[in-house]
Amino acid sequence: QLQAGLAGHISRHTYIAYLTQAYHHVRHTVPLMQAAHARMTHNPMLLAALDEYIEEESGHEAWILSDIAAAGGDADDAAASAPHPATQAMVDHAFDAIRNGNPAAFFGMVYVLEGTSVALATAGAGAVQRSLGLPDNAFSYLTSHGSLDLDHMRFFADLMNRIDDPLDQQAIIRMARDMFRLFAAMFAAIPMENVDAAA
């Protein structure tokens, strides 16, 4: 699915399906950050990083709904729909790890989601737009995340290099490994007519 998206070999239906699942996890980004923030009062460095992330990530789910409408989908239906079980599992795992484990684990999720969105934004958005002939305003979420998340990843790398607590390090790595598996399951659940037909 990722390779097809990066090459632009997906249908409009698949792109809207991707955006819909993106909406269902992105709308939880700020609540996840707030949950982590509430449990990390002992760590001013990570609190400051979360404050910055919360400010920058607020409202991104609205961008996705706008993109769905511009791509010819029904934004209201997307917002009212239930997330795919794979998407829900990813969100539930993140909340559980933050609320019941080490809240620093949240940064493992940041690594996976932002690292993936950089690849999709910088290469995939243009390829999909050219293939489907969709307007620029159908890609506001992805294209904005190209340069934004490149800056985020530099900020993230510097932040991770300053974490010296072995328990925090282990929690972040464990979450990243879990998120790669769960995020992959979300992508695998997105219908891919062209790829499925070829298979």
Model pLDDT for residues 87-117, shown as the tens digit of each residue: 999 999 999 999 999 999 999 998 998 887 7
Distance of CA 47 to the CA centre of its chain: 21
Closest among 116, 99, 120 to 5, alpha carbons compared:
120
Neighbours of 144 (CB within 10 A): 15
State residue 50's pLDDT score: 92
Sequence letter at residue 125:
A
What pLDDT digit, counting tens, does each position of 25-72 carry? Answer: 999 999 999 999 999 998 999 999 999 889 888 888 999 999 999 999
- To the question of pTM greater than 0.85 for the whole model, the response is yes
Phi, psi of 43 (to 5 degrees): -125, 90
pLDDT of residue 160: 94
Confidence of residue 17 (pLDDT cuts 50, 70, 90): very high
Q: Kindly state the average pLDDT of the residues 7-12.
A: 84
| pLDDT on residue 126 | 82
Cα 36-42-43 angle, rounded to 5 deg:
70
Both structure tokens of 171 = 């929690």
Q: Encoding tokens for residue 1?
A: 């699915």
